[in-house]
């Protein structure tokens, strides 16, 4: 009960997606769900406020993660994840790795499909 004798609602503190992205719905960079992101040296030098989404993303991306994996692990919608990752990429704190090219082998393509399916299942 609070000071007025009413019971406060229980449950998770939900943050609206538009709050996390400041109302934006598109990332500044192209980020397919299978794109792999990892931190840049500047991310290790920066001070990240505890509990903020950017600090959670940076911690996750210490090891390379796909966009789908970041979305699933943070329990954040894919579109929101793309905007947040795009901001960190534009700021130079994250980089993306090419996932597939014309010269990719069958094994590389199969591995990409398996990782993508794993990330999608986690969503």
The CATH number of the domain holding residue 22 is 1.10.10
| 8 within some domain | no
How far is CA 109 from each of CA 12, 35, 74, 81, rounded to the nearest angstrom?
A: 39, 13, 26, 24
Residue 6, φ and ψ in degrees, nearest 5? -100, 160
Q: How far apart are CA 16 and CA 36, in angstroms?
A: 26
| 5 within some domain | no
| 35 within some domain | yes
How far is CA 19 from each of CA 13, 23, 39, 99, rounded to the nearest angstrom?
A: 13, 6, 24, 30
pLDDT tens across 49-104, in order? 887 888 899 999 999 988 888 988 988 888 889 999 999 999 999 999 867 777 88
**pLDDT of res. 22:** 59
pLDDT tens across 6-45, in order? 444 444 445 566 556 555 666 678 888 888 899 999 888 8
Q: How many domains does the chain have?
A: 1
Q: What is the pTM of this model?
A: 0.68
Instruction: Confirm if 97 and 64 have CB atoms less than 8 A apart.
Output: yes
Range of the domain at 118: 17-122
| 50 within some domain | yes
């Amino acid at each position: 009960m609070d000071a007025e004798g009413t019971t406060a609602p229980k449950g998770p503190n939900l943050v609206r997606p538009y709050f996390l992205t400041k109302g934006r719905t598109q990332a500044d960079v192209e980020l397919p769900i299978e794109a792999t992101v990892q931190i840049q040296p500047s991310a290790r030098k920066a001070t990240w406020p505890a509990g903020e989404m950017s600090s959670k993303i940076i911690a996750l991306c210490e090891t390379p993660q796909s966009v789908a994996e970041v979305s699933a692990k943070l329990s954040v919608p894919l579109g929101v994840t793309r905007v947040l990752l795009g901001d960190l990429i534009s700021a130079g704190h994250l980089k993306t790795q090419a996932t597939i090219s014309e010269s990719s082998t069958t094994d590389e393509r199969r591995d990409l499909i398996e990782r993508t399916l794993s990330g999608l299942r986690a969503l």
